[in-house]
Amino acid sequence: MTYEEIFKSVVLAQNEFGSNSVCISLENELVFVDAGMNATIASEFRKNMEAKFGKKASTLILTHGHIDHFFGMGAFADLKVIAPTASKEKIERYVKAEFTKEIVASFEIYFPTFTEAAQVAKLFMPSVWFEDKMALGKNEEILIQTTGGHTNCSSSIYFKPEKVLIAGDLLQVEVSPYFGEPDNDLNKWIQTLKLWEKMSLDAYLPGHGPKINVDYLIKVREFFEQLL
């Protein structure tokens, strides 16, 4: 995992296997977005960010219900965990699952470090669910919104003070975007990207890969339009 300080209050942790994670520093607390695949790696990120900012973590936000974004959530078991209501069934499926050798081996095909991650995974249900929108922070600096697209529960997090958008898997950089789920909706995905194009943001942080600017975003949107 590599860390990049995006702006004064935002750090992106890029993960080769599993999703990226993000730390946002508010006045008196730290908010994390997505837990990645491995709880040990997520714990290290949390520890490093608490040391860097001199603040305690309070909240974990999950952008959607894909396992590579929350399998490391055990590192945040003592925090408030927020997720879109539409992701509840997806997350619950894995919380209740028995990860047998056969199941672990099947995941290993897609995630080469899954066996190691499964050994330290501690899954649980989020404590707070939101329908469409939710604001966090003393001055509502963080806006969470569900749009659908990549999945029916795909959500983004906008950190207003530094004009940073955390896109989850609605943006996947330097890879072919994954849109193989039955609840994928390319039309909703395109409309979401169009809205983001108009927001004059300073940084877009994807679920996988490095930060991008609006030029890359436009190319993704045009790619989906060509597919349709």
- pLDDT, residue 180, reads 84
DSSP letter string over 172-224? B-SSPPP--STT--HHHHHHHHHHHHTT--SEEE-SBSS-B-HHHHHHHHHHH
- pLDDT, residue 129, reads 98
pTM above 0.95, yes or no: yes
- pLDDT, residue 181, reads 87
**Domain carrying residue 26:** 2-227
Closest of 113, 117, 51, 46 to residue 76, by C-alpha: 46
Q: Using CA atoms, how far apart are residues 36 and 3, in angstroms rounded to an integer?
A: 14
| Percent of residues in the chain assigned helix, strand, coil, to nearest 5 | 35, 25, 40
- pLDDT, residue 72, reads 97
The structural domain count of the chain equals 1
Helix axes 186-197, 214-227, angle to 10 degrees: 150
Q: Using CA atoms, how far apart are residues 212 and 169, in angstroms rounded to an integer?
A: 13
Q: Using CA atoms, how far apart are residues 63 and 85, in angstroms rounded to an integer?
A: 11
Closest of 74, 174, 170, 164 to residue 125, by C-alpha: 74
Tell me the pLDDT of the chain (228 aa) as tens digits.
899 999 999 999 999 888 999 999 999 999 999 999 999 999 999 999 999 999 999 999 999 999 999 999 999 999 999 999 999 999 999 999 999 999 999 999 999 999 999 999 999 999 999 999 999 999 999 999 999 999 999 999 999 999 999 999 999 999 989 988 899 999 999 999 999 999 989 999 999 999 999 999 999 999 999 999
- pLDDT, residue 36, reads 97
- pLDDT, residue 179, reads 87
Q: Supply the CATH number for residue 53's domain.
A: 3.60.15.10
Provide φ and ψ at 166, rounded to 5°: -100, 115
- The answer to whether 155 and 168 have CB atoms below 8 angstroms apart is yes
